[in-house]
Structure 1
Amino acid sequence: MDVPELVIDVRGITKSFGGKVVVNGLDMQVRRGEIYGFLGPNGSGKTTFIRMLCGLLRPDAGEGTCLGLDVLTEAARIKEQVGYMSQRFSLYEDLTVLENLDFTARMYGLADRRAAVERIVERMGLGRYGKHLAGKLSGGWKQRLALASCILHEPRLLLLDEPTAGVDPGARRDFWDQVHVLAGEGVTALISTHYMDEAERCHRLAYIAYGDLLARGGMEDLIRDSGLTTYTVSGPGLHELARELGGRPGVDQVAAFGLSLHVSGRDQAALETALASLRDGAHTVEAVPTSLEEVFIDLMRRGRPQ
């Protein structure tokens, strides 16, 4: 079937468990070939939302489409056409790499399983590990095998739930390089992550906190709309200074970065007043661009339940 320009187009998606709202009226539109980052603290509803999109859970309310199919009435057809990768390695650890991929090909009913498996093995560089038990692979190669299984049936949408948790930086970079190649081929990806360097590699981002969507847009948009001003402070006694600054009006967050502090606040005038006494020769105070991490820490604190 032809995939529409808006691969995900949902409005008001809501889900509750035991009377607790886990996803609260969430809207999302994701375009074809887009890498869309989905961020938020643990327990904020990211996994639940992803599972509703791929047909594993039915929303309590809301409407919309995924791959042009109704998320309420055509969930079975959606499941067949997405690649879903969960937080935990979900393949069979007592099967070899090739056996896992062949099993996945069988599950999707691929006509020429052998050819499909050979293609994905070559694409993902898994050839030398073909006869290795999946459970014996390193974290990075398990991740690569999981992604190979996820894209074996050539889906046009990937739903990836914290896919790089627990793997080393090199493996994470390799993974993201693969995702960008797939995006260049027109594959759309919705990816939840806690890593800010990964968030910066997404085309657009959404931040959800405890069921509520608090912000969305490109990285530059989110930084601008946060209203945060940030200064770096260097000099003596930074440990004690960090505690002192945290209690001053206008200071919303203080974080140590190597041999300096990053101090951020939404009230620029009050923040500058809080830092004025540090312009004493012993310390250096300089304005710096606000980072994405500072934006999301601010959102997390503001979105935390009372």
Structure 2
Amino acid sequence: MAETMISMHHLAKRFGKQVVLSDINFDVQKGEIVGLMGPSGAGKSTVIKAILGMIAVDRGKATVFDTQMPNRELLARIGYMAQTDALYDTLTARENLVFYGKMKGLDKTVLTHDVEHVAMVVDLLSDLDKRVINFSGGMQRRLSLAIALLGTSDLLILDEPTVGIDPALRQKIWRELHQIRDAGRSILITTHVMDEAELVDQVALLMAGKVMAFNPPEILKAQYQVDSIESVFLKAEGVQL
């Protein structure tokens, strides 16, 4: 039986009169990539914050490793990339990576190897010793992703990690994510780039505060009788194709 890494039951959240999440239900199993897909403003980041206990929900429950977050002891098992970068801009990229690696409890020898590896994945090897204050926005996003990839976290939660990244580098990053999945680790990734849905194991389509569909990409396309996840999304919205 598959091990459940994240479980969400009837999550609901509103900010004032605005309903952001009305009834969110889906799980992330061990050794799979789940893509939480939806347009900007659909509530993807709110789902992640609810999972991690960064916001209190109005109804429902979310657990990680069968435990309600936040839980300091579990943080070392999670690699998290937020939509906003939490970097020390007066430090170099390498110093940022080393700092966060030590926070994760990585051994010095392992950390030295990991810093080089994740910098290679996000194409920052030649920029490791440059101060982050001189990085472009895209470079800062790539550094944030590299930090999330440090170590061998059982679970990665990545919020829009490929925004502003060119197609060739996106392919390289997805190869790394697939290798992580194949090693038995789990990934929850949010994106509004619909072609990335073809690269995940399960697609959760988020619209109007609800997960309108949750299935592997091929099953969703067969159910909606279309040839792309973007078309699935449009049909789920009621658009005539």
Partner of 1:96: 92
144, 154, 161: which one aligns with 1:163: 161
Distance of 1:170 and 1:138 partners within structure 2: 18
Corresponding position: 1:20 with 2:24: no
Deviations 1:29-73 (A, max 9, x none): 1111101111111211110001111221222211242122124xx
Superposed CA deviations along residues 203-246 of structure 1, whole A, max 9, x for unmatched, are 110101121111110112111222x4xxxxxxxxxxxxxxxxxx
> How far apart, CA to CA, are the structure 2 residues paired with 1:62 and 1:76?
22
Higher relative contact order (CA 8 A, sep 6+): 2
Call closer, same or farther: CA 1:177–1:140 in 2, change over 3 Å.
farther
Cα distance in 1 for partners of 2:71, 2:234 equals: 35
- Provide the aligned C-alpha RMSD in A: 2.3
The residue aligned with 1:107 is 103
1:177 to 152, 175, 180: 175
Seen in structure 2, the aligned counterparts of structure 1 residues 127 and 43 have a Cα distance that, compared at 3 Å, is: closer
- 1:8-87 to structure 2, matched below 5 A, reads 8-71=6-69, 75-87=71-83
Asked whether the 8 Å contact 2:12–2:23 carries over to 1, the reply is yes
Shift of 1:141: 4.9
Residues 64 and 86 (structure 1), Cα distance of their counterparts in 2 relative to 1, 3 Å cut: closer
Could you say what secondary structure the match of 2:111 adopts?
helix
| Alpha-carbon contact 2:38-2:44 (below 8 Å) kept | yes
CA contact (8 A) 1:54 1:84 kept: no
Contact 1:207 1:216 in 2 (8 A): yes
Question: Is 1:299 matched up with 2:236?
Answer: yes
Specify whether residues 146 and 111 from structure 1 end up closer, same or farther in structure 2 by C-alpha distance, changes over 3 A only. Answer: closer
Q: Over alpha carbons, which structure has the higher Rg?
A: 1
Q: Which residue of 2 aligns with 1:118?
A: 112
Equivalent residue, structure 2, for 1:281: none
Give unmatched runs, 5+ long, in structure 1: 229-288
* Equivalences for residues 192-231 of structure 1 within 5 A: 192-226=190-224, 228=225
**Percent of pairs identical after alignment?**
34
Aligned length: 234
Could you state the TM-score of these two structures normalised by the residue count of structure 2? Answer: 0.86
Segments of 4+ in structure 1 off by > 6 A?
Answer: none
**Other structure's SS at 2:20 match:** strand
- In the superposition, the TM-score normalised over structure 1's length comes to 0.69
